[in-house]
Structure 1
Amino acid sequence: MATFLYKLGRSAFRRRRLVALLWVALLALAGVGAATAPAATSSSFSIPGTEAQRAFDLLEQRFPGGSADGATARVVFKAPAGQSMQDPANKAKVEKTVAQLKSGSGQIARVTDPYAGQAVSRDGSTAYVSVAYKVNAMELTDETRDALKKTGRDAQGQGLTVEIGGDALQSMPEQGAGEIIGVVIAGFVLVITFGSLVAAGLPLLTAIIGVGIGISTITALASVLDLGTTTSTLAMMIGLAVGIDYALFIVSRYRAELAEGREQEEAAGRAVGTAGSAVVFAGLTVVIALVGLAVVNIPMLTKMGFAAAGTVVIAVLIALTLIPALLGFAGNKVVARKERKGPKKDTDGKPNAGTRWARFVIRRPVMVLLVGVLGLGAVAVPAASLEMGLPDDGAKPVSATERRAYDLLSDGFGPGFNGPLLVVVDGDKAAADRTVSTIKGLEGWAAVTPPTPNKAGDAAMITVIPKDRPSSVETEELVHGIRGATGDDVLVTGATAMNIDFSQKMNDALLPYLALVVGLAFLLLMVVFRSVLVPLKAALGFLLSVVAALGAVVAVFQWGWLGSLFGVEQTGPIMSMMPIFMVGVVFGLAMDYEVFLVTRMREAYVHGARPGEAIVTGFRHGARVVTAAAVIMIAVFAGFIGSSEQMVKMIGFGLAVAVLFDAFVVRMAIVPAVLALLGHKAWWLPKWLGRVLPNVDVEGEGLVTARDGAAGKGDGKGRDGGKDEDRELVSV
């Protein structure tokens, strides 16, 4: 591996103009494809294998032309105090609104008059007009949305309280300037780390090129592959983070090789051969975690994972080819000006912060281990109170008209009105009537409508309004009660039932997904480190950091702690996909730092350093770069907290906190403490397993034989030659 990448790095350095031209051409090609592709729509949401999905499919078969996937809106009216919506004056205002809606847009399928459709509350205080559209929310034109908003404003001006709910007002989420600020922060961190504007600019430039190619490709294929808007957001989030980090590690290693006196082409080859090997395996762990989301068998999640994985692959390829090519253009400018006078030995000067920290951990491994584990354990406590659900209008801030409409309907018609259950009967009128009688014999319902048969008379729909709010335990029990009391020819669907089935599917898939992803990554890390205990420690550390991150998400988004600081206006259940999604993404990212930091330790150990020396060497060379990479990744993810989309905001926060915990607590504290306690045992591998596992030479041992030949370097003592002051620290 190292030898192949070494040759690739040198080749890209020599043919830098061709390599750069090829990547620019790919960017232009992807950009043209994105510009000429049909506009993307919202991804269709389906949960294969669930009763709610089977009911939805049956509806499309037996009730054709019903626009089941079309956008909907509810224009909700609230009468002034002392008045009723049945008053002639108020009734005339509502009927005027109905007429205005019917003539407002060619995309409207039907408008239901509240007085004809029994959409007036019992006390007469509230009424609503139902609007169904021919297309989904993302396909609505701006003119259609503007007409709906104007209708609401006109009705509001007639003395009534008018709010609009439903998904018809849904639009593309606003990201704001958060991600731009994240990239700016990343730039500052790179400048501080390298002391050179050119060196700092290379990771940013290549990450932007990689993300540009990835996002443009996703945009070009969005209509064909039914990719939703959140897919490109996730790909951008992860692509920026890993793209900057991977380039950062190779540029940093290139500078270190130059500092040892190597020629530029040789330094580029060795940087790609060593740090590039770590980049390949770090990228593989991220790809495994993202592609593994297919195990859940939810198409939307699978597409998101594959799209993000594709962006990671692009980031790896760019780091291995475009970075050495650009290093050829940059020359000595990647080195800080004060260091251009001549090579500077890494052994000169005082120990850096990474060295001092590693020595501290080695002296007190038990204390550091206990503090790290107990600290993360305390943060993880809120995860025990995790409540999952899919957000609806009730999760939006009170400043939104959708939320106010939601509250008006709850007050006027009961808390379960915003989460109706749709019962589909695959049978004749007699079967439908029996189903109604069965449902009325259960507890937890507030209203059950008469069956609505299809034209053929072989199916019917029944609407059931629960007594309690959609996300309550009582409503979930009602769904299970209906399913248990009726036969296979009766199916329950609707947003609330889909939410229940989705959450259950997430729970059922979590353990198989963990087993698959962690198992594959464990095997991969065994190949990388040629050790059994190091991959095991890496996996256990990941579990600790991801549970702590989930605890932080629950504390902020469910409990509301520090919610205002992060722009959380409304608390509520955590999205059902959040735990499994965080497991996938955070696992891949966590293994990045494990690979980058520990491979440097492995490299020193293989070259003759004792375990304690190897830990210090790894931190001397890698701690500053890993710290910078983690800060950059945190900044990029935190930039998405400013999104108007609750899902994107929650993901950005969760990933930023997870990287913070994993990089600075697990990898920088718990990992060296455990390695110090294990000593030589950390690198133990059974002989029979060593013969079976391929030797991919991630640490670049194969390059040592070519290392300056008779210059005497690469004598087996490790990259730093084994400093006496480090040997004095450890006797393990």
Structure 2
Amino acid sequence: MSGLLGRLGSWCARHGKAVLALWVAVAVLLTAGSLLFPGPVNNDVAIPGTDAQRAHDLMREGFGPGYDTGGTVQMVLYSPDGPLTVQSRKNAVQRAMDEIRALPNVTEVQTPYRTGGLASSLQIGLITVKLQGHDTDKVAEISRQVSDAAAPVRAAGIEAVPAVASTPADKEIKTGTSEIIGVLCALLVLLFAFGTVVAAMIPIFTALVSIATGLGLISLLGHLVDVPKQASIMATMIGLGVGIDYALFLLSRHRGLLASGVPVHEAVRRVVASSGGAVVFAGGTVIIALSALMLAGFPMLQTLGWITGISVVCAVVTAVTLVPALLGLLGHRVNALRLPFAGGRKGGHGASGWSALGTWVARRPWRVLALSVVILGALTAPALGMKLGTLDDGYAEKGTDARRAYELLEAGFGPGFNGPLIVVASLDVKVPDPESEPAVLKELKRKVTAVDGVAHVADPVLNDAGTAVLVQAIPDYGPGDPRALDVVEGVRAIRLDGAELHVGGQVAGMADANARMAERTPIVMAVVVALSAVLLLLAFRSPVVAIKAAVMNLVSLGAAFGALSLVFSFGLGSALVGMDPPVGVDDSFLTAVFFTVPIDSYIPLMLFAVLFGLSMDYEVFLLTAVRQAYLRHGDNRRAVAEGLGSTGRVITSAALIMVAVFVAFIAYPDPMVKIFGVGLAVAVAVDATVIRGLLVPSTMALLGRLNWWCPRWLDRILPNLSVEGHDEEEETPAEEPRGRLVGAGLR
């Protein structure tokens, strides 16, 4: 692989203008295409084979899109100056309803003055608009038109807030300020790391080209597949971090070769042949980890995984093609515009501090190991208290329509109104007269009403064919309350002669998601760990190194989950990351600063896949440096110290950049993005400091020759895969110690 990459890098360096022009053209065309023909987003959380999905399908088949939550738009009305029943306000509401009826695709407008449409205070009401068909694009557009048509009620002093909880397809998470902050922070780190403006701009430029290409592809893919609304933000977070890091690794090595007198094009060839292989391997592990989400049994999570992987592919490809092209074009001007008091030693190798740390760790491995275990144990312990739940609109940013509508509905109709249960029953015997009220309907309502935690049950609705019945049940608890899941199980436990019950709705879907995640998470984790260990085994030809690396990655994940639990499940700092207190809490200082936030059940699994892949980046670069040093002189502890010393600066700079990018995204108003930002930032910080700086070197020093031991039978069957090829500038390797300590994979 190193030979092929070396030839690719050399070609790109010699044809730098053509490669640069091609990448810029691709990025511009894809960006323009995504702006002119933006693909729709759809956060469909359907999980095939679950009870909630069967309820949804039965409702669609038996009652049509008019009863489907995807075919309705709701408008919440609030009259702060008095009841909505005052005639002048009723007239304003009627005028607004008339304007809404005139909108295209509207089939029915239900008045707030119907039974159940007004709150007991008479100040909060609900207009329900039923739409024709199930086109999510139309739902998004109609919701905006409905809001505009509510002008008459606003003129009468009535607040009108659209509540489009029925479909999340109208809200794509937009990118902007956080990316700018992340890029600026990364640029600052790069300026201090390299000490020259030109060198610092290369990773930034290549990352921006990579992100523009990836986001353009993702947007256009929205015309072919259902793209989750989180796709663009996740792709940007991961793509920006790895894109800058991969370019940083290559550039750091290139400047070192230039400083030692190697010609420009030869330096580029060596860099891409050696460090380029590590980049490809590191990116491949991220993609493999994300691809394992295909086994999660959760379509949205599956799509989110492989779409996020597109940004990683773009980062790898730009690193091994665009970066060499820029280096070939710039030549020695890569060190132009030098800044005073920055950049350390010429060539970017100021690693004396890390060398001293490596020597210190190698001399005291047991003490360092004990210290690392204590620190990581303390960071991981809170993960045992992680609380999963539904991250509903009650945690949305204050001032948004989603948050305001949630608050009004809870105040007027109770917390469970924001998460109703949809009970759908298929009847064994067709009801001949839809106008009649057979006993099975009365019995269904009675049994649902009797379930503990059910606040209200609407009258059953029989479909026109007389083959299915629908009942809406309002729980006592909001969708984010764990007790709402118990209500779902209680309703599902109902047995009714002559009917088969299924329960749908947001809370029921969350209950099914929790069950599916609990079932599939061990499988996904086992596959990711096993495949990553196999790749490391192929690369380093050492079972000990492969197993140890997989365990180390799991340790950093534990620290990330511990941080998530502290901030969100225990509430120690939820306000510090910009979360607003949930609906219904008092306004005291303590509750404004310390309040718990549920973590959606799919987030830990998504974080696991992303973080496991990202953690492998630093593991690969550290291990390759240690291995090359070991091959030169055969002294394991000295190799550990030299490996940490040679990679410490670049790994630290890369980690600082990635942490800066992830922390910048914590400023995003979306709670899900905040959770991801906290988890990713903490994991990378811990991984690059405690794990790679203390734990990995100490364990490698203690294992000694076992680090590179490989059974003869295994060595014979393993293919010869090189992560970082042997360069001409490397010294002749020392004679291998006896005992079959194989290093062919790195030669």
TM-score, normalised relative to structure 2 = 0.87
Change (3 A) 1:473 1:173: closer
* d(CA) in 2 for partners of 1:297, 1:597: 35
Alpha-carbon separation, structure 2, partners of 1:473 and 1:189: 43
Deviation at 1:287, TM superposition (A): 0.4
Cα distance 1:514–1:351, how it changes in 2: closer, same or farther (>3 A)?
Answer: closer
CA–CA separation in structure 2 for the residues paired with 1:664 and 1:500:
38
Question: Aligned in 2, Cα 1:696/1:346: closer, same or farther, shift over 3 Å?
Answer: farther
State the TM-score, normalizing by the size of structure 1.
0.89
Alpha carbons of structure 1 residues 172 and 71: separation in structure 2 relative to 1, 3 Å: farther
User: For residues 584-624 of structure 1, what are the alpha-carbon distances to aligned partners after superposition, in whole Å with 9 as ceiling and x for unaligned?
Assistant: 00000000111111111111112334111111221222111
Q: Which moved more, 1:202-211 or 1:518-527?
A: 202-211
Alignment of 1:90-239 (within 5 A): 91-92=90-91, 94-103=93-102, 105-122=103-120, 124=122, 126-134=124-132, 139=138, 145=144, 148=147, 151=150, 155=153, 158=156, 163-167=161-165, 171-239=171-239
1:466 counterpart letter in structure 2: P
Describe the superposition over 1:189-220 as per-residue Cα deviations: whole angstroms up to 9, x where unpaired: 11221222222221111111111111111112
Which shows bigger deviation, 355-364 or 563-572? Answer: 563-572
In the alignment, structure 1 residue 469 sits paired with structure 2 residue 462: no
User: How do residues 365-404 of structure 1 correspond to structure 2 at under 5 angstroms?
Assistant: 365-404=365-404
- Residues 577 and 666 in structure 2, CA contact (< 8 A), matched pair in contact too: yes
Partner Cα separation in structure 1 for residue 159 and residue 5 of structure 2:
67
AA in 2 matched with 1:72: V
Displacement of 1:383: 2.1
Once the two structures are overlaid, the 10-residue window that deviates more, 181-190 or 34-43, is 34-43
| Residue 7 (str. 1) matches residue 32 (str. 2) | no
C-alpha distance in structure 2 between counterparts of 1:311 and 1:617, whole Å: 33
> Which residue, out of 542, 561, 565, partners 2:553?
542
Unaligned runs of 5+ in 2: 432-437, 582-595, 736-747
Distance change (3 Å), C-alpha of 1:121 and 1:680? same
- 2:572 counterpart of 1:564: no
Instruction: Using the TM superposition, give the Cα deviation of residue 271 of structure 1 relative to its aligned residue in structure 2, in angstroms.
Output: 0.9
The structural deviation recorded for 1:338 is: 8.2
CA distance in 1, matches of 2:549, 2:734: 26
Contact 1:77/1:161 (CA < 8 Å) preserved in 2? yes
Q: Does 1:358 align with 2:375?
A: no
Query: Structure 1 residue 231: deviation in Å?
Result: 1.2
Structure 2 counterpart of 1:178, which letter? S
Whether the 8 Å CA contact 2:53–2:504 is kept in 1: the answer is yes
Counterparts of 1:313 and 1:289, CA distance in 2? 13
- Determine if the alignment matches structure 1 residue 519 to structure 2 residue 530: yes
Who is 1:75 aligned against? 76
Evaluate the alpha carbon distance shift between residue 159 and residue 227 of structure 1 in structure 2; reply closer, same or farther with a 3 A threshold. Answer: closer
Q: What per-residue deviation string (whole Å, max 9, x for no partner) do you get for residues 410-434 of structure 1? A: 3433332221110111114554444
Deviations 1:144-200 (A, max 9, x none): 52651673x754664666655343895443444121111111112112212222222
Q: Which residue of 2 aligns with 1:730?
A: none
Partner of 1:501: 512
Which residue of 714, 717, 722 maps to 2:731? 714
Given the alignment of the two structures, is residue 700 of structure 1 paired with residue 725 of structure 2, yes or no? Answer: yes
Picking from 635, 644, 648, the partner of 2:669 is 644
Which letter maps to 1:326?
Answer: L
Does the residue aligned with 2:213 lie in a helix, a strand or coil? Answer: helix
Deviations along 1:670-716, one digit per CA (max 9) or x if unpaired, are 11111112122222222211212122132423x4xxx37xxxx6232
- Is the counterpart of residue 589 in structure 1 residue 614 in structure 2? yes
Q: Is the 8 A contact 1:40 1:228 kept in 2?
A: no
Task: Tell whether the 8 Å contact from 1:35 to 1:220 is kept in structure 2 after alignment.
Answer: no
1:225 is paired with a residue whose SS is: coil
CA contact (8 A) 1:182 1:637 kept: yes
Cα distance, 1:457 vs structure 2: 1.0
CA contact (8 A) 1:533 1:684 kept: yes
- Aligned-pair CA distance for 1:267: 1.4
Cα distance in structure 2, aligned partners of 1:145 and 1:521:
47
Match of 1:598 among 616, 623, 627: 623
1:723 equivalent in structure 2: none
- Following superposition, the deviation at residue 21 of structure 1 comes to 3.7
Deviating more after overlay: 546-555 vs 159-168? 159-168
Equivalent residue number for residue 601 of structure 2:
576
2:127 counterpart SS class = strand
- Give the conservation status (yes or no) of the 8 Å contact 1:369–1:669: yes
Partner residue of 1:449 out of 455, 458, 466: 458
| Equivalent of 1:617 in 619, 642, 662 | 642
In structure 2, C-alpha distance between the alignment counterparts of 1:217 and 1:71, rounded to whole Å: 31
Aligned to 1:331: 331
- CA offsets per residue over residues 619-665 of structure 1, 9 Å max, x none? 22211111111111111222222222222232222212221111222
Q: Partner of 2:70: helix, strand, or coil? A: coil
CA distance in 2, matches of 1:470, 1:238: 30
Change (3 A) 1:144 1:314: closer
How far residue 448 of structure 1 moved from its aligned partner, in angstroms, is 1.9
Deviation at 1:326, TM superposition (A): 1.5
Give the paired residue count.
702
Aligned residues of 1:6 and 1:272 also touching (Cα < 8 A): yes
Q: Does 1:686 align with 2:711?
A: yes
The answer to whether the Cα contact below 8 Å between 1:425 and 1:432 also exists between their aligned partners in 2 is no
SS of 1:673's equivalent? helix
**Once the two structures are superposed, what CA deviation does each residue of 1:248-272 show, in whole Å capped at 9, x if it has no partner?**
1111111222233222222111111
The Cα shift of 1:583 comes to: 0.1
CA contact (8 A) 2:46 2:53 kept: yes
* Mapped partners of 1:620, 1:100: distance in 2: 71
| Contact persistence 1:76–1:409 (CA under 8 A) | no
Aligned residue number for residue 565 of structure 2:
554
RMSD after superposition: 3.0
How far is the alpha carbon of 1:524 from its aligned partner?
0.4
1:527–1:694 Cα contact (<8 Å) kept:
yes
Distance 1:408 1:221, change over 3 A: closer
Alignment check: 8 A CA contact 2:568 2:597 kept: yes
**For residues 133 and 279 of structure 1, what CA distance do their matches in structure 2 show?**
50
Cα-to-partner distance string for 1:540-576 (whole Å, 9 max, x where unaligned): 2222221221222232234332233321113521122
- Give the Cα–Cα distance (whole angstroms) in 1 for the partners of residues 545 and 346 of structure 2: 27
Describe the SS at the equivalent of 1:565: coil
Q: SS state of the match for residue 485, structure 1?
A: coil
Aligned ranges 1:273-312 → 2 under 5 Å:
273-312=273-312
Q: 1:28 to 1:158 in 2, by over 3 A?
A: closer
Q: What is the match of residue 52 of structure 1?
A: 52
**Alpha-carbon deviation of 1:29?**
4.3
The answer on 1:491 being equivalent to 2:502 is: yes
SS of equivalent to 1:228: coil
- In structure 2, which of residues 701, 708, 711 is the aligned counterpart of residue 676 of structure 1? 701
**Whole-angstrom distance in 1 between the partners of 2:351 and 2:29:** 48
Distance, in Å, in 2 between the alignment partners of 1:383 and 1:463 is 37
| Deviation of 1:406 (Å) | 2.5
- Structure 1: which 5+ residue stretches go unaligned? 719-732
Between the aligned partners of 2:142 and 2:424, the Cα distance in structure 1 is 35
Return the alpha-carbon distance in structure 2 between the equivalents of residues 53 and 543 of structure 1.
33
Stretch of structure 1 that moved more, 84-93 or 22-31: 84-93
Instruction: State which drifts further: 381-390 or 667-676.
Output: 381-390
Distance 1:58 1:338, change over 3 A: closer
